[in-house]
Structure 1
Amino acid sequence: MSNTHAQDGRTHLPLQDRIPSSKAREIFRRIRQKHEISKNDLLTKSGLTVSTLTRVLEELSAAGLIEESGFGASTGGRRPILYRTRASYGYCFGLDISRTTSRLAIVDSAGQKIDSISWTMTEHMTPSALIDYVVEQIQLWIAKYRIPHEQCIGLGIGAVGTLDRFTGIIENPQWFYAPGWNDVPIGAELEHRLRIPVLLDNGANTAIIAESWSNRTKGVRHMLYVHAGVGLRSAMMADGKLIHGATDMEGSLGQMIIQADGIPHRTPGGNYGCLDSYATIYAIEREAISKLRTGRPSRLQSVIHLGEAVTFRHVIEALHQQDTLATEIVSQAATYFGIGLANLLNVLHPEKVILGGPLMTSNDLFFYTATQTAIRRTYHYPSYQVVFSKGNYGEEAIAIGAALLVLDNLTSRQEA
């Protein structure tokens, strides 16, 4: 998915060819990591000679990738010139493909969000339907913001797995409401339709890219991201680098066994007593239906219309009304989630944990119950301290991170 062609017939350069010099890629990467940075700091950190750095900065400026942003504080001599990424160099699109809601965002080359839109993933949202919506919206944005094709840097996709990020194929995801989501060549199809480079990765990975970007000046090196919704997804950064396994393990967190003789998994081959069966939207809905069938009184009976099945939305609505049963069900799921989270902390020891997804954003009860449970079960607490957060991007983290994935690839080393 690297060599694409523009709509006017011109070849669209692969992402890494936009900055052909390895020294220029390294300097641009350093500038991107700061809001602004002085030439002296770049000289110290890069190890380049003054003449080489000057030439590289001129190369990046001439290409429109960076710009001067003023002068820094003087340390006794001339005030140093500051450099920053030039926001108008180009634009990247980021697509979040999730089971309940999918989202598209556009960011500029400085990583600032310009616009976003979301779609509910109903039983009618097949791959072809979503692709049509995405293509149409990107074309509308290109017209609205008057973006020349050469300034469309690329599209990143953060998707539910399993997937193959090298071939751009969503392989075998589970629990979509619409049919047709197996073996979808999403990358090739969108490259063909849009004529820009397309990159695919796990949605949890793109979310942690976004949250790492928002923390880039704070020195956070080891970060864990967990997305809790219809399923459970996780990603990890160690020493500032995203960890990829030998294969896409998008749903592996949900298979963590927390009760060996527990509930059977909802799909064949799943583990008995795994976290997915206790701490997901599915688990909450199953528990609510079970409790109502035993005659438990609840406001759920008043928020469900005649003939409707109990859904997560109904549980949250009852929770907002301080319903005892809804509070009990959500607290129980959050406690199980916290146990699974403690297991991750005891193995990975991140500095910061970002918790995202519908279970975290719909109500504070789940977040606080889960984090307090995890803290009480974390080994070496309180000497080992971890920061929990819902993140800076919230529901847009996957889409924003997918767009940032494209920008990151401008400075990636080309694989042999």
Structure 2
Amino acid sequence: MKNKPERAVPSHKKLIYTEVAERGTVSKADLLTSSKLTSSTLTRLLDDMVAEELIQETGRGPSNGGRRPILYQIRADYGYIFGLDISRISSTLGLFDMQMNPKSLVRWRMDEAMTPERTVEYVARLMQDILRDHQIGPNQILGMGIGAVGPLDRTNGMILSPLYFPARGWTQVPICRMFEQAAGIRSTLENGANMALVGEQWSMRHENVQHALYIHAGVSLRSAMMSYGRIVHGTVDMEGSIGQMIIQTDGPRLHPSGNYGALEALASVQALEKQARARAKMGDDALLQQYRITPEQLNFDILVQALSSDNPSVREMFHQSAVYFGVGLANLINIFLPEQVILGGALINSNPMYYQTATEIARQNTYNYPAYEPRFSKGQLKEDAVVTGAALIVRNSMEL
């Protein structure tokens, strides 16, 4: 039997830095309570970290009867980090300082021209432009975190075989190596759903949420789970496996390798487009006439426009999709029992009705409701959650 690899024990300096970063502004007395270090050891560490410009004194707190305590926070300009979200509909590049303040955020459409090579070339050029605009030298960049559509080989920095990219070539892509060669910046790969959850947890860190579920409903369905503040990784990296949850045993399947009656075949962008095109071919052609298109040109953007115009047929399709999504969401909630459920993606944001219907169905089918009821939200960072989480994993892995 193989021994489990030992997890590296963080240094006292790393623990103190993390504590200061997460709390924003903190006094030595607070750090003494949480770290269990002696006063002399903590004082020496803080002095060393100030000298190294990792942290800085930022004034004094209120007095509790004695001298007002010195307050500390991490230095925003100690270094900078890029975060990159690679997704099917759109991708985003962000530059962050050490306090996770976004210095720049650039988003673009992922169309048929955005092959892996073209994407790397485009992003590398964007990085140069952003650094020049902010007068930041390459030596000030600590690294780049990449949150991407799976499945992935995180250890070797590879995107393996994701479905539904508009461009060709997104199979067996050594994305980290490609960026390191093109931009000279060390890169770390994680799946996008995990990074979205990391980013959202950071945004609500003062609420001390320990158990959270994140689901992205878009071209596919992707999920992430956090337990005791840590991302739960499976044996293999398959963030999209939630889409294969069987909701209707005799139902349709979305693609030849998918399950019949799977959630993705009933509640996803692809499923809605497929259903709308089938209806159009069977005579429900009002949208074809309105937009002067063929059934094959009937896409999600047009469906969202029709939904906002209260087209009854389209509204019924979105409502039914939301009901199925709510049932699948209830299944996950009943398994993981999270405190917080965060929903994102094109479907969730398509119309308020979708989110309201899905969460209400999930509540109704949650075991022991209303005695147990998780909090639902669309998150605080929303479409910037992935890039924020991707930058955070670089900062969190920084050696001190």
TM-score of the pair, normalised by structure 1: 0.91
Asked if 1:109 is matched to 2:135, the reply is no
Mapping of residues 274-289 of structure 1, within 5 Å: 274-289=262-277
Asked if 1:404 is matched to 2:392, the reply is yes
Asked if 1:319 is matched to 2:307, the reply is yes
C-alpha separation in 2, matches of 1:21 and 1:386? 32
C-alpha separation in 1, matches of 2:337 and 2:173? 36
Asked if 1:120 is matched to 2:103, the reply is no
C-alpha separation in 2, matches of 1:196 and 1:308? 42
Unaligned runs of 5+ in 2: 1-8
Contact conserved, 1:126 with 1:181, CA < 8 A, in 2?
yes
Cross-structure match for 1:16 = none
Contact conserved, 1:67 with 1:86, CA < 8 A, in 2?
yes
TM superposition shift of 1:303: 3.2
Q: Which moved more, 1:256-265 or 1:288-297?
A: 288-297
Cross-structure match for 1:341 = 329
C-alpha separation in 2, matches of 1:233 and 1:26? 32
Q: Secondary structure at the match of 1:106?
A: strand
Name the aligned partner's letter for residue 277 of structure 2. Answer: I
C-alpha separation in 2, matches of 1:219 and 1:398? 20
Cross-structure match for 1:72 = 61
Deviations for 1:251-299, whole angstroms, at most 9, x for unmatched residues? Answer: 1000000111111331x23111100100100011111112222323645
Cross-structure match for 2:243 = 254
Asked if 1:209 is matched to 2:183, the reply is no
Deviations for 1:192-223, whole angstroms, at most 9, x for unmatched residues? Answer: 22222210000001000100000111111111
Deviations for 1:116-147, whole angstroms, at most 9, x for unmatched residues? Answer: 11121111110000001110011111111111
C-alpha separation in 2, matches of 1:224 and 1:303? 39
Q: Secondary structure at the match of 1:359?
A: coil
TM superposition shift of 1:304: 4.6
C-alpha separation in 2, matches of 1:35 and 1:408? 15
Name the aligned partner's letter for residue 371 of structure 1. Answer: T
Cross-structure match for 1:385 = 373
Mapping of residues 71-110 of structure 1, within 5 Å: 71-110=60-99
Mapping of residues 265-276 of structure 1, within 5 Å: 265-266=254-255, 268-276=256-264
Deviations for 1:314-350, whole angstroms, at most 9, x for unmatched residues? Answer: 1000011111011101111111010000000000011
Asked if 1:165 is matched to 2:154, the reply is yes
C-alpha separation in 2, matches of 1:304 and 1:330? 22
Cross-structure match for 2:187 = 198
Asked if 1:330 is matched to 2:335, the reply is no
Among 12, 29, 48, the alignment partner of 1:59 is 48
C-alpha separation in 2, matches of 1:244 and 1:88? 32
The alpha-carbon distance between structure 1 residues 21 and 160, as it changes in their structure 2 partners (threshold 3 A), is closer
Cross-structure match for 2:290 = 302
Contact conserved, 1:303 with 1:318, CA < 8 A, in 2?
no
TM superposition shift of 1:411: 5.8
C-alpha separation in 1, matches of 2:137 and 2:154? 28
- Give the % identical residues: 46
Q: Which moved more, 1:325-334 or 1:397-406?
A: 397-406
Contact conserved, 2:277 with 2:296, CA < 8 A, in 1?
no
C-alpha separation in 1, matches of 2:310 and 2:286? 10
Cross-structure match for 1:218 = 207
TM superposition shift of 1:250: 1.6
Cross-structure match for 1:156 = 145
C-alpha separation in 2, matches of 1:255 and 1:306? 30
C-alpha separation in 2, matches of 1:132 and 1:257? 40
Higher RCO (CA < 8 A, seq sep 6+): 1
Deviations for 1:329-374, whole angstroms, at most 9, x for unmatched residues? Answer: 1111111010000000000011111101111123212111111110
Cross-structure match for 1:5 = none
Name the aligned partner's letter for residue 366 of structure 1. Answer: Y
Name the aligned partner's letter for residue 187 of structure 1. Answer: C
Asked if 1:350 is matched to 2:376, the reply is no
C-alpha separation in 2, matches of 1:149 and 1:130? 20
TM-score of the pair, normalised by structure 2: 0.95
C-alpha separation in 2, matches of 1:304 and 1:348? 46
Deviations for 1:208-249, whole angstroms, at most 9, x for unmatched residues? Answer: 010000011111111111001110100011111111111101
Q: Secondary structure at the match of 1:217?
A: helix
Contact conserved, 2:280 with 2:295, CA < 8 A, in 1?
no
C-alpha separation in 1, matches of 2:254 and 2:302? 23
The alpha-carbon distance between structure 1 residues 371 and 54, as it changes in their structure 2 partners (threshold 3 A), is same
Q: Secondary structure at the match of 1:285?
A: helix
Aligned residues: 393
